[in-house]
Amino acid sequence: MIRDEQLILGRLGDCTGFLLRRVQSQLAKSFYTTASEHQLRPGLFSALSVIADNPGLSQRELARITSLDGATTVNIIDALESRDYAVRKRVKADRRKHALFITSAGVQFLDELFPLVEDAEANVINELRLTELNWLKTVLDRLHQNTL
């Protein structure tokens, strides 16, 4: 059996998407382990956090910032509403649009969950120095901006 440190990726090691997905997969495993008792998926957590930091944003804005399609975003908002973590309110100026707001239960839930998520991420990123982590976040944000 070949040990991980002996495996050769070859040209695949030059593929940014593969390298990002490999790390994201580990982060997702840590997240699921941490959040499983709350029956929470990463999309719900991300959406609720964005809603908390951007009160009144639209469903379309939420979909754009989280890189989710419209149908998935609606399903996530439905799930957040069913848990009483967020509410949709019609925009008076345009009744076709909904503004999203976090509830007090949603705020409390995020306050409980963020430390757990940070601990789970620490298991994956603990080898990085703070300057490296900040650089990585900056580069990832730039890559995301290029996709918009």
pLDDT at position 35:
80
Q: Which CATH number fits domain 15-147: 3.40.50.720, 1.10.10.10, 3.90.1560.10, 1.10.10.60?
A: 1.10.10.10
Q: What is the CA radius of gyration of the chain?
A: 18
**Separation of alpha carbons 29 and 41, rounded Å:** 11
**Model-level pTM greater than 0.85?**
no
pLDDT at position 4:
65
Beta partners for residue 90, in sequence order: 98
**Separation of alpha carbons 61 and 130, rounded Å:** 30
**67 contacts 144 by C-beta, under 8 angstroms:** yes
What one-character DSSP code corresponds to residue 127? Answer: T
Q: Which secondary-structure segment (H or E) carries 88?
A: strand 86-91
Q: Which residues contact 45 (CB under 8 A, 6 or more apart)?
A: 31, 35, 113, 117
pLDDT digits over 73-102, tens only? 999 999 999 999 999 998 888 877 889 999
Q: How far out from the chain centre does Cα 86 lie?
A: 16
pLDDT at position 13:
87
**99 contacts 88 by C-beta, under 8 angstroms:** yes
**Separation of alpha carbons 126 and 22, rounded Å:** 16
**85 contacts 55 by C-beta, under 8 angstroms:** no
pLDDT digits over 29-42, tens only? 888 888 888 787 77
Q: What residues of the chain score a pLDDT lower than 70?
A: 1-6
pLDDT at position 123:
81
